[in-house]
């Protein structure tokens, strides 16, 4: 029997948890691997972190760095300082990082400088907007990783244009889809919409948290004004992100939300409840990246309130509409969907629930 492959998986924020769960499950079934889960603590409250481990049947983190919040520089630096001793103690063969959060880049930098191989899951996606902190994290992580697992063919092309050699790049599909497909039946059984006395297809769901949207007073006000108008003819359920709630109070915009009885603010939801809610929505309004992919899989129209996206495949092939931050355009597209107008869409290639299997095979082949 050969030496076991030691792998450290790094998670830090809510989207990472849906990505790591199927891969740890798949790798743990193979006696060749020894998996260690490190939670950086970038998201640390119950609704944004702990409940996801419980619902996704993720093992408790072996190590929690508990870095908490802070500026991008503070958070990245703290993660690096706390992660380095972990690497020096455990000496893994691979560090696997996920997505584009600060934890992803910070741990990649530490591993690379200690000459530990890094595999990046969800590599190559690009918004081509370097004002987004996540875009910087993506570009730098991909530049110094040893294996790049991409969710769409366009991601391969992005990496090749950046000069990354083809041998590092593996098109494996979207790992979030693995989690969604194994969870959708259980989530649907929860019928979360009934909490608000709603019926399937009789409401919309809103998420809003991007710095460019909620930290700019005028932009934030315009978005809320559009949502207020929509909520007059369709109830809108709004699980509010802590950042967004803070900005609402700071900017004195809470009154905008209180004017419409059709807009329902709720606490952040766990994965299963949120999946249940969006699966039966008439449409979703969001500035999230992961939600653009999830709605495409569920064939739910998604109005993305941004001027660009890293998930272009969901616009080209899926159910995603880029509506920007213009109030009239948001309302126009929402009305069009209500009237039954819209495009045809399909499920992107390899979004089939087998991404973790493909990643596992590549990692095991590395020896």
pLDDT one-digit tens code per residue, 191-221: 999 999 999 999 999 999 988 999 999 999 9
Residue 209 falls in the annotated catalytic set = yes
Where does the pLDDT of residue 2 fall: very low under 50, low under 70, confident under 90, or very high at 90 and above?
low
Integer CA distances (angstroms), 308 to 49, 240, 287, in order: 27, 22, 10
Averaged pLDDT for residues 18-38: 94
C-alpha 233, offset from chain centre? 29
pTM, two decimals, is 0.94
pLDDT digits (tens, 9 = 90+) for 244-253: 989 998 988 8
Q: What pLDDT does residue 185 have?
A: 95
Residues 165 and 197 in one domain: no
Based on the domain organization, do 209 and 291 belong to the same domain? yes
One domain for residues 66 and 127:
yes
Instruction: Count Cα atoms within 13 angstroms, Cβ side, for 349.
Output: 8
Which one is catalytic: 82, 209, 241, 332?
Answer: 209
Domain range for 61: 5-173+351-366
Whether residues 250 and 269 fall in one domain: yes
Residue 319 in any domain: the answer is: yes
Q: Domain total for the chain?
A: 2
> Which band of pLDDT confidence, cut at 50, 70 and 90, is reported for residue 83?
very high
Do 95 and 29 lie in a common domain? yes
Q: Give the integer Cα–Cα distance in Å for 208 and 244.
A: 7
* 310 pLDDT above the threshold of 80: yes
Please say whether the beta carbons of 313 and 122 come within 8 A. no
Q: Looking at the domain assignment, is residue 345 inside a domain?
A: no
Same domain, 165 and 281: no
Please tell me whether residues 333 and 356 are part of one structural domain. no
Q: Indicate whether 41 pLDDT > 90.
A: no
- Residues 166 and 186 both lie in one domain: no
Mean pLDDT for 61-84 is 91
């Amino acid at each position: 029997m050969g030496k076991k492959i030691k792998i450290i998986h790094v998670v830090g924020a809510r989207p990472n948890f849906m990505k790591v769960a199927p891969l740890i499950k798949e790798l743990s079934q193979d006696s060749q691997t020894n998996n260690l889960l490190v939670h950086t603590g970038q998201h640390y409250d119950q609704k944004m972190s702990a409940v996801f481990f419980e619902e996704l049947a993720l093992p408790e983190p072996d190590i929690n760095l508990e870095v908490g919040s802070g500026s991008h520089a503070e958070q990245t630096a703290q993660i690096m300082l706390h992660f380095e001793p972990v690497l020096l103690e455990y000496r893994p063969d691979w560090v696997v990082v996920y997505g584009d959060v600060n934890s992803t880049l910070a741990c990649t930098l530490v591993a690379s400088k200690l000459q530990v191989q890094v595999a990046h899951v969800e590599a190559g996606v690009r918004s081509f907007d370097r004002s987004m902190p996540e875009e910087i994290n993506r570009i730098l992580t991909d530049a110094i990783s040893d294996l790049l697992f991409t969710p769409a063919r366009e991601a391969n092309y992005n990496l090749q244009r950046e000069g990354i050699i083809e041998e590092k790049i593996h098109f494996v599909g979207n790992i979030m889809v693995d989690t969604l497909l194994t969870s959708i039946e259980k989530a649907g059984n929860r019928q979360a919409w009934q909490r608000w006395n709603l019926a399937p297809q009789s409401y919309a769901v809103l998420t809003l948290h991007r710095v460019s949207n909620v930290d700019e007073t005028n932009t934030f006000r315009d978005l809320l004004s559009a949502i207020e108008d929509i909520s007059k003819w369709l109830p809108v359920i709004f699980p509010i992100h802590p950042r967004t709630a803070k900005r609402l109070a700071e900017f004195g915009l809470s009154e905008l939300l209180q004017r419409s009885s059709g807009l329902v603010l709720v606490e952040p939801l766990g994965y299963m409840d949120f999946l249940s809610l969006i699966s039966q929505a008439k449409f979703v309004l969001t500035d999230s990246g992961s939600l653009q992919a999830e709605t495409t899989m569920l064939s739910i129209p998604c109005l993305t309130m941004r001027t660009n996206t890293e998930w272009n495949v969901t616009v080209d092939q899926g159910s995603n509409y880029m509506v920007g931050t213009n109030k009239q355009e948001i309302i126009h597209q929402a009305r069009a969907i209500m009237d039954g107008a819209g495009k045809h869409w399909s499920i992107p290639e390899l979004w089939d629930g087998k991404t973790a299997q493909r990643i596992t095979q590549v990692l095991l082949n590395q020896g």
